[in-house]
Amino acid sequence: MTSHPLDGLGERVFVTDFDGTMTAVDFFDVVLHHADLTAMPDYWGECVAGRLTHVEALHGIFQHAPRDLRVLRTYLAETRLDPQTPAAIERLRRHGWEVVVVSAGSQWYIEQLLADVRERVRIIANPGEFTPETGLTMTWPPDDVPWFSRHFGVDKGAIVRCLLERGATVAFAGDGRPDLTAARLVAESRRFARGWLAETLAREGLAFHRFEQWSEIAGRLTA
């Protein structure tokens, strides 16, 4: 039986999306920015139209990333991870908040970008790896994990729901479509959003805190 990655967490858990939330730019958008779009299918358009899953679309896009690791690492920097991330994580931990990074993207680039704080956070994302032969790949998690989604790979709402059922106080931050269910589940005082998620929550009449930089959230949660 697969062990549950949420075991051992404390009473306060801050669940956060990664792309576009901890970073300024989604990694797949960086890849698209550099790619020859005339030579690749419209993976994202096919996903929005329902003809590809989120996992299939991102894997297709990532296959157009460079197969030179030195070049690929320059792409990582272009996501513009909040430079105050390490300090924010330390502040959250000092105040009893544990950080769980959840993503419908690839674990490979998230672990690369969070290398300096890897031991202080938990990461739940779709499996991914890089080799010069196969390029950057992203695959499905095992379908017996508690957070499995047949579209996104990772069901963030299921993760938040599990924590709430365990009696934890949960905060959530996100920016996109995969974040909506999770955001709806947490108390409005611990709901943080920007981008598409913020616009959608506002249309639904759900209160939330808007943020520009991810590190701002640490100040609100520890005030």
Residues 111 and 172 reside in one and the same domain: yes
Residues 35 and 113 reside in one and the same domain: no
Q: Can you give the pLDDT at residue 8?
A: 83
Strand 209-210 to 153-154 pairing: unpaired
CATH number at residue 203: 3.40.50.1000
What is the three-class DSSP state of 63?
Answer: coil
List, as one string, the DSSP characters of 135-183.
EEEE-PPPTTSTTEETTTEE-HHHHHHHHHHTT-EEEEEE-SGGGHHHH
Residues 56 and 105 reside in one and the same domain: no
Residues 42 and 17 reside in one and the same domain: no
Query: Nearest 5°: phi and psi at 124?
Result: -125, 115
Q: Can you give the pLDDT at residue 198?
A: 98
**Cα separations (Å) of 133 from 59, 115, 158, 209?**
15, 24, 35, 44
Q: Can you give the pLDDT at residue 4?
A: 66
Q: Is residue 214 part of a domain?
A: yes
Q: Can you give the pLDDT at residue 1?
A: 41
CB 53 within 8 A of CB 208: no
Q: Is residue 4 part of a domain?
A: no
Range(s) of the domain holding residue 138: 12-25+81-222
Q: What angle do CA 112, 155, 37 make, to 5 degrees?
A: 60
Q: Can you give the pLDDT at residue 19?
A: 98
Residues 19 and 102 reside in one and the same domain: yes
Residues 179 and 160 reside in one and the same domain: yes
Residues 162 and 95 reside in one and the same domain: yes
Residues 41 and 93 reside in one and the same domain: no
* pLDDT tens digits, 171-182: 999 999 999 999
Residues 108 and 174 reside in one and the same domain: yes
Domains identified in the chain, total number:
2
Q: Is residue 49 part of a domain?
A: yes
CB 158 within 8 A of CB 86: no
Tell whether pTM > 0.85. Answer: yes
Residues 115 and 158 reside in one and the same domain: yes
Parts of the chain with a pLDDT under 70: 1-4
**What token pair was written down for 71?**
């070049």
Q: Is residue 104 part of a domain?
A: yes
Q: Is residue 5 part of a domain?
A: no
Q: Can you give the pLDDT at residue 7?
A: 79
Strand 148-149 to 153-154 pairing: antiparallel
Residues 47 and 88 reside in one and the same domain: no
Distance from C-alpha of 186 to C-alpha of 161, rounded to nearest angstrom: 9
Distance from C-alpha of 148 to C-alpha of 156, rounded to nearest angstrom: 9
Residues 33 and 141 reside in one and the same domain: no
Q: Is residue 203 part of a domain?
A: yes
Instruction: Count how many Cα atoms sit within 13 Å of the Cα of residue 153 in the half-sphere of its side chain.
Output: 23
